[in-house]
Structure 1
């Protein structure tokens, strides 16, 4: 099969040969890809804010994490942030025996905040977790 689109009557082809143009475009594309600078992305890292926290905030038998309606996190009644919560949970995970963690979100707390705290607890590999206060809703469903 002939690849020519011309006629057999001896007339010259009137269409332009696009193969060299495609080759040049591919070479230019490869050169642009090679010369693009490497993209650097910033990674947000939560650094510990106070590494010298006292050990008396962690109880040896049970600790309670609560979330109020405004979305504030509390550890045994003291307000904390997610970074400090992560530090406390990491310390309790290595204690022997591991203390129980009682989790009691306010019924008016946003689900998104409760989900974020539960994700922090899961990432800390806490095995003794209990939801406190849910017994008041047992007859609602």
Structure 2
């Protein structure tokens, strides 16, 4: 009975086995080649034509600004306080539920004041609020 001396296989292999990577890449290429022609096919359909409809004219957004001293302007007119702002916004919302508000604030205004104004807009029922920023 012959015995073979075992070689030391404890040494780490310094080469990366790329065979599985090549196999996966070839499968992905085959899938791409098979599916690419299917993506370019289209179907012709005769769609019905409708009568000309009137264009929907959107009202311009409300411009809401908070100045450095905390004063609030709605469309360039001063608003006394948050309650008056909320009442004015509720009237506007009752006339147009799709009304948008653009809010801009001076860079010196505390965030708490901006949050109060945003809460007043939300309590008025307006959900379309955009924050206007200016690049320095």
TM-score by length of 2: 0.51
Aligned partner of 1:76 in structure 2 is 75
What root-mean-square deviation, in Å, do the aligned CA atoms of Structure 1 and Structure 2 show? 1.7
**1:131 Cα deviation from its structure 2 partner:** 0.7
**1:76 Cα deviation from its structure 2 partner:** 0.9
Q: Map Cα deviations across residues 37-81 of structure 1 (whole Å, 9 max, x no partner).
A: xxxxxxxxxxxxxxxxxxxxxxx4321110011111111111112
* SS class of match (1:130): strand
Q: Could you say if the C-alpha distance between residues 95 and 107 of structure 1 is closer, same or farther in structure 2, counting changes exceeding 3 Å?
A: same
* SS class of match (1:94): helix
Gaps of 5+ in 1: 1-59
For residues 100 and 85 of structure 1, the distance between their equivalents in structure 2, rounded to whole angstroms, comes to 15
Aligned partner of 2:102 in structure 1 is 102
The size of the alignment, in residue pairs, is 77
**1:98 Cα deviation from its structure 2 partner:** 2.6
Which 4+ residue blocks in structure 1 deviate beyond 6 angstroms? none
Gaps of 5+ in 2: 1-58
Alignment of 1:28-67 (within 5 A): 60-67=59-66
Give the conservation status (yes or no) of the 8 Å contact 1:92–1:98.
Answer: no
For residues 93 and 68 of structure 2, the distance between their equivalents in structure 1, rounded to whole angstroms, comes to 28
**1:97 Cα deviation from its structure 2 partner:** 5.4
* SS class of match (1:86): helix
For residues 118 and 70 of structure 1, the distance between their equivalents in structure 2, rounded to whole angstroms, comes to 17
